[in-house]
Structure 1
Amino acid sequence: MGRHDSDAVRITSATRSHSDDIASRQRRYVISMTIRTVCFLLAVVFAGGFLMWIFIIASFVLPYVAVVVANAGAAPDPGGPEDFDPGRKQIEPPREM
């Protein structure tokens, strides 16, 4: 029947879907909390030394940073409408019967 073109034509500059945005925020938060956990474990490993205090401070600051980064607004989709391409095939009008 119809021809299916594999190239999708972008006609809007809309942002990502809500579910994609939530997934991206969750991923950033989990990464930040993982870094915080590593900092806390390194503070235990370097107990009594100067590095212990740096890792403890980092483990206290990172939750705040993680929440701020995770709650940042939805990033606009970097793409936009495609430029007009005169060489691209046009949709043909329906045939008369």
Structure 2
Amino acid sequence: MRRSDQPTIITDAERSPSDQLRSRQRRYILMMSIRGVCLILGAVLVTAEAPLLWLWLPLCAVGMILVPWLAVLLANDRPPKDRHRLHRPGARRPRETGPAQIGPMPTQSPAGRIIDVEP
């Protein structure tokens, strides 16, 4: 059965780029909100002179430094490509092709010599 004869299954379709962007934006906003909470919490703890301040301030500082870095990394990340996903038992794998040809495609003449053809 050729690949074009196989039906397309909607669950195999990738998410649209706008949907991917929307989910990355939501994740970024959530993580930056956590950073804001760490900043406010650290300021409140210092002002209130909370017990165990030596423990809470480094935790808030890690949240204020590490979370934005992770938020940017995850916001710029894309979902994995199909070739990296697990192979379904019933599906056929696409055929591997050789390296891509750069430039004009060579053809063979009747004498067996290769002739470069201009596009």
Q: TM-score, normalization: structure 2?
A: 0.51
> Could you tell me how far 1:23 is from its partner in structure 2?
0.2
Distance 1:60 1:22 in 2: 24
The 3 A distance-change label for structure 1 pair 76 and 28 is: farther
Distance 2:30 2:17 in 1: 20
Give 1 or 2 for the bigger CA radius of gyration: 2
| Number of the residue aligned with 1:11 | 9
> Could you tell me how far 1:27 is from its partner in structure 2?
0.3
When the two chains are superposed, the root-mean-square deviation of aligned CA atoms in Å is 2.6
Query: How many equivalent pairs are there?
Result: 72
Cα deviations by residue, 1:9-56 (Å, 9 ceiling, x for unpaired): x62412100110000000000000000000011111111612122102
Runs of 4+ more than 2 Å apart: 74-77
Establish whether residue 66 from structure 1 lines up as the match of residue 71 from structure 2. Answer: yes
- Structure 1 spans left out of the alignment, 5+ residues: 1-9, 78-82, 84-97
Q: Which residue identity does 2:27 align to in structure 1? A: R
Q: TM-score, normalization: structure 1?
A: 0.62
The 3 A distance-change label for structure 1 pair 23 and 76 is: farther
- Structure 2 spans left out of the alignment, 5+ residues: 1-7, 83-89, 91-119
Establish whether residue 55 from structure 1 lines up as the match of residue 71 from structure 2. Answer: no
> Could you tell me how far 1:74 is from its partner in structure 2?
2.2
Q: Which residue identity does 2:9 align to in structure 1? A: I
Identity of aligned residues (%): 36
